[in-house]
Amino acid sequence: MRGGGLRAYALLYLLFLYAPILLLPVFAFNSGTIVAFPLNEFTTQWFSQLWGNTTLRRALVNSLTIAVSAAVLATVLGMFAARASTRYRFPGQGAALGLIMLPLVLPEIIVGVSLLVVLLAVGVELSVLTVIIGHTLICTPYSVAILTTAFSSLDQSLEEAAQDLGESRWNAFRLVILPLVMPGIMSSLLMSFTISLDEFIIAFFLAGNEPTLPTYIFSQLRFPKAIPMIMALGTVLVAASILLLALAEYFRRRGAARTGQTNSGGFP
């Protein structure tokens, strides 16, 4: 087989990538209170412990609120930016897009710290809302990237045809463009949701006393007693994010099929 050595290396690399995640369920279902080998008996007690934990429930509700809001906001902002970058040419376009995409190359702690200083100076109380502000900022570049791909694969003459046939500009967008980029919008929503749900350092700075899932996990990692429960939580989270990613991948492929591209994994 061609590239046999490379293939073996790639498979080893995959093992390296998956090793920590494969360990999660092993310890989540293990009755031992210390996370180490040899294993004890099979148990689901850590999962029932999760269910009864009220702080965790509060953190989950907070995280879901933040992730849904940030995903919607980032996707809406991303649509504007992607449309502006693919459909129009105007002075300062590069600089404007550069600033919008800047969080991609900025350490997240800098984003968190600078927002914290300003919010405190203006007198805004730290809450779930302030985390939404920060997460929208870091999710928008990803939305822009996904949606730019979706918008740029559109045939502009479709929209022009609709306008020539008497539709207003807004109707042409709503009736022709929007359905075609819908898969891109869905995958942008899912991607932003996943990023926000997992984001730690900005939430750590901006959440005040409100727990989010990552800040709750971080606070629990200090207590050896809480670790098995965290392993169970991790297992649930991994299962949920694989489900979300599979959904996002499904929408991406459908989008690619709808606009008549060949499927090359999102990289033309």
Residues 94-133 that bind other proteins (CB under 8 A): 96-97, 99-100, 102-103, 105-111, 113-118, 121, 133
Question: Quick one: tokens of 86?
Answer: 């693919």
Give me the residues paired with residue 30 across strands: 42
How near is the Cβ of 166 to other proteins at its closest, in Å? 20
The residue range among 42-50, 148-156, 158-166, 230-238 that interacts with other proteins, by the rule CB under 8 A, is: 230-238
Q: Is 229 among the residues that bind other proteins (CB under 8 A)?
A: no
Residues 52-91 that bind other proteins (CB under 8 A): 76-78, 80-81, 83-85, 87-91
Question: Scanning the structure block, which residue is given the tokens 């009755």?
Answer: 31
- CB within 8 Å of 173: residues ≥ 6 apart: 159
Q: Does 170 bind other proteins (CB under 8 A)?
A: no
Least gap, CB of 179 to other proteins (angstroms): 20
Tell me the closest approach of the beta carbon of residue 197 to other proteins, in angstroms.
9
Contact residues for 96 (Cβ-Cβ < 8 A; gap 6+): 84
Q: Which residues contact 63 (CB under 8 A, 6 or more apart)?
A: 196, 197, 212, 213, 214
Taking CB under 8 A as the criterion, the residue among 62, 230, 251, 255 binding other proteins is 230
Which residues ranging from 128 to 157 are in contact with other proteins (CB under 8 A)? 133-134, 136-137, 140, 144
49, 53, 127, 241: residue in contact with other proteins (rule CB under 8 A): 241
Please state, in angstroms and rounded to a whole number, the distance separating the CA atoms of residues 246 and 243: 5
For the chain, where are the alpha helices, taking DSSP H only? 4-28, 45-51, 54-87, 93-101, 108-122, 128-152, 156-164, 169-172, 178-198, 201-206, 213-220, 227-258
**Interface with other proteins includes 183 (CB under 8 A)?**
no
Nearer to other proteins, 20 or 52 (CB): 20
Angle between helices 178-198 and 54-87 (to 10 degrees): 140
Q: Which is nearer to other proteins, 92 or 166 (CB)?
A: 92
- Subset of 184-223 contacting other proteins (CB under 8 A): 194, 198, 200-201, 204-205, 213-214, 217-218, 221
- DSSP H or E run through 179: helix 178-198
Give the total of residues touching other proteins (CB under 8 A). Answer: 91
CB of 159 to other proteins, least distance (A): 13
Q: How many CB atoms lie within 10 A of CB 52?
A: 8
Q: Does 258 help bind other proteins (rule: CB under 8 A)?
A: no
Per CB under 8 A, does 47 bind other proteins? no
Q: Considering the complex, state which of residue 105 and residue 165 has its C-beta at the smaller distance from other proteins.
A: 105
Residue pair 146/77 in contact by the 8 Å Cβ criterion: no
Q: Is 6 in the site for other proteins (CB under 8 A)?
A: yes
- Measured CA to CA, the distance from residue 221 to residue 213 in angstroms comes to 12
What DSSP character marks residue 30? Answer: B
